């Protein structure tokens, strides 16, 4: 294992994190928030100082799957550990476990909060909290790939990093160069975010609100800076946020193809159609349910259903209403799309629509095989046949996912909450959504949970964001074996 390379990357990330805290620091200075300034300044110093340790020369830049997994898992933990410091040091969130939960929730774009009164937070920390969404959405290492010339001598080994950090069953590059690929991804990401900010400013949103909300939307995170999430904003702003959540849940490859005017290829993507189909059907059913059971106005029902489904399915977690009070049928639909999640290659979480499509097709093929045992058939997606590895990988993913979900539920059930809360808390964190039902619903938060449960849920968030395996690898002892190469 090439420990020096892992440490080299981790050091880079730590310095970057310090740089990213500068805007938050400036905002705090501007607003005269002395505690927040102190917390941020100490953290930034700590990051820079720690990153100066052990700067030994890189002997090899070689990088394999093992290093890729470990780096990604480690970097995310380190970034969260340091990212939580400003909250505790400034006294805004006195308990470090709480601050860690909040930061992990930010970086993993979950949006689950332990804060009972968000509006009391200093502006600088509110900005930092929302910015973690933006950074975590596309991935911190993808950002590093975009700015440092790693691939110069290590060849395409950095693909392992992209693969470990990006979402979906098949991760590939858009263009031959890893660096260009990372830049294109971030370019699309930033352009969409900017567009959203502009549209919200046009709708009369204050600048600070617009920027933080856009960060929350772009990363499909869901940290709001108001206690009632999005409910107090105008309908226009809610529609803008709703539409952009949907857009950020789309595979970024689609935007890349649109950019190059391959309309048919982009819009013909099976995943995109399945995504829009599931979303449309869910909105329709919930709207109908709300009209019939709750007697809502047609447009109001459509608006509320649309925003909530878009928010939950893309795993963002903004809310314009307390869907905890909705009929069970509607809540159940929300729970289902919670698990399904957004498209592969987007900033959203969940199992991903691509996996669903693969599972569905593979199940159909296997069922057909029972009728004609000698039949040979391939699972195809967008006209390309998938190899067996991808399919078995998808099944493995589902199995591991289920095991983790059940174990986590068992562990947090020790806190003796009701079943709805317990189940939805795990689903909402493992799928990086944020609000669940019951106590952890949109009107509530995770404050009531014990420290132990908060750690379990933090791990769930990391597992969900990194698609299980990079985090799981951290617990495999053999991966840490030093062997003979003392690199």
Mark 35-74 with x for binding to other proteins (rule: CB under 8 A) and - for no binding.
Answer: ------------------------------x---------
Helix 419-430 vs helix 388-412: crossing angle, to nearest 10: 140
Verify binding: residue 172, other proteins, rule CB under 8 A.
Answer: yes
Span from 131-139, 145-153, 191-199, 395-403 in contact with other proteins (CB under 8 A) = 145-153
Q: Which of 241, 273, 266 is nearest to 252 (CA)?
A: 266
Question: First and final CA of the chain: distance in angstroms?
Answer: 7
Distances (CA, A) of 182 to 20, 22, 73, 108, 252: 18, 23, 19, 19, 11
Among 157, 253, 310, 321, binds other proteins (CB under 8 A): 157
Strand partners, 380: 385
Strand partners, 384: 381
Residue with tokens 């709805």: 420
The verdict on 387 binding other proteins (CB under 8 A) reads yes
Report which DSSP code applies to 108. T
Supply the minimum distance, in Å, between the C-beta of residue 170 and other proteins: 12
176 binds other proteins (CB under 8 A): yes
Q: Are strands 384-385 and 380-381 parallel, antiparallel or unpaired?
A: antiparallel
Specify the residue, 169 or 349, whose C-beta has the smaller distance to other proteins. Answer: 169
The answer to whether 155 contacts other proteins (rule: CB under 8 A) is yes
**DSSP structure string for 77-145:** HHHHHHHHHHHHHTTSS--HHHHHHHHHHHHTT------S-GGGS-HHHHHHHHHHHHHHHH-HHHHHH
Does 151 bind other proteins (CB under 8 A)? Our answer is: yes
The nearer residue to other proteins, 387 or 418, going by C-beta atoms, is 387
Residues 269-298 close enough to bind other proteins by CB under 8 A: none
Residue among 78 and 473 whose Cβ is closer to other proteins: 473
Nearer to other proteins (CB atom), residue 372 or residue 486: 486
Q: Which of 158, 310, 314, 432 binds other proteins (CB under 8 A)?
A: 158
Shortest Å, Cβ 5 to other proteins: 15
Taking the mean position of all CA atoms in its chain, how far away is CA 293? 33
Mark the segment that binds other proteins (CB under 8 A) among 107-115, 151-159, 295-303, 468-476.
Answer: 151-159
User: Which residues form the interface with other proteins (CB under 8 A)?
Assistant: 65, 151-153, 155-160, 172-173, 175-178, 180, 387
């Amino acid at each position: 294992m090439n420990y020096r390379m892992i440490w080299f990357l981790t050091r880079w990330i730590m310095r970057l994190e310090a740089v990213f805290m500068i805007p938050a620091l400036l905002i705090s200075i501007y607003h005269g928030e002395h505690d927040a300034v102190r917390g941020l300044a100490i953290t930034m110093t700590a990051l820079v100082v720690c990153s100066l340790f052990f700067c030994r020369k890189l002997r090899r830049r070689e990088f394999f799957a093992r290093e890729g997994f470990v780096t990604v898992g480690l970097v995310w933990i380190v970034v969260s550990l340091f990212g939580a410091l400003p909250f505790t040091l400034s006294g805004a969130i006195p308990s470090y476990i709480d601050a860690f939960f909040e930061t992990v929730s930010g970086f993993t774009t979950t949006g689950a909060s332990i804060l009972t009164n968000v509006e009391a937070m200093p502006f600088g920390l509110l900005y930092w909290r929302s910015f973690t969404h933006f950074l975590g959405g596309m991935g911190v290492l993808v950002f590093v790939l975009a700015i440092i010339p790693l691939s110069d001598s290590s060849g395409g080994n950095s693909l392992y990093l992209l693969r470990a950090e990006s979402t979906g069953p098949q991760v590939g590059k858009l263009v031959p160069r890893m660096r260009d690929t990372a830049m294109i991804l971030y370019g699309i990401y930033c352009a969409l975010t900017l567009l959203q900010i502009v549209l919200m400013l046009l709708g009369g949103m204050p600048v600070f609100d617009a920027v933080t909300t856009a960060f929350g939307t772009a990363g499909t995170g869901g940290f709001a800076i108001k206690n009632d999430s999005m409910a107090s904003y105008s309908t226009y702003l809610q529609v803008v946020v709703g539409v952009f959540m949907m857009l950020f849940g789309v595979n970024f490859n689609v935007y890349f193809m649109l950019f190059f005017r391959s309309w048919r290829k982009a819009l013909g993507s099976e995943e995109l159609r399945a995504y829009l189909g599931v979303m449309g059907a869910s909105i329709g059913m919930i709207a109908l349910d709300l009209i019939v059971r709750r007697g809502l106005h047609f447009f109001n029902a459509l608006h509320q259903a649309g925003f909530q489904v878009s928010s939950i399915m893309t795993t963002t977690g903004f809310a314009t209403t307390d869907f905890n009070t909705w009929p069970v049928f509607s809540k159940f639909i929300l729970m289902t799309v919670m698990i399904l999640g957004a498209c592969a290659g987007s900033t959203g979480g969940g199992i991903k629509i691509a996996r669903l499509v693969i599972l569905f097709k593979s199940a159909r093929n296997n069922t057909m095989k029972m009728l004609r045992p000698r039949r040979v058939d391939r699972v195809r997606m967008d006209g390309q046949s998938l190899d067996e590895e991808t399919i078995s990988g998808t099944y493995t993913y589902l199995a591991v996912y289920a095991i983790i979900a059940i174990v986590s539920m068992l562990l947090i059930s020790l806190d003796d909450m009701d079943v709805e809360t317990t189940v939805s808390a795990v689903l909402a964190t493992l799928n990086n959504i944020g609000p669940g039902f019951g106590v952890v619903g949109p009107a509530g938060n995770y404050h009531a949970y014990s420290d132990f449960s908060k750690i379990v849920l933090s791990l769930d968030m990391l597992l969900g964001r990194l698609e299980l395996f990079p985090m799981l690898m951290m617990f495999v002892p053999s991966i840490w074996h030093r062997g003979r190469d003392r690199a």
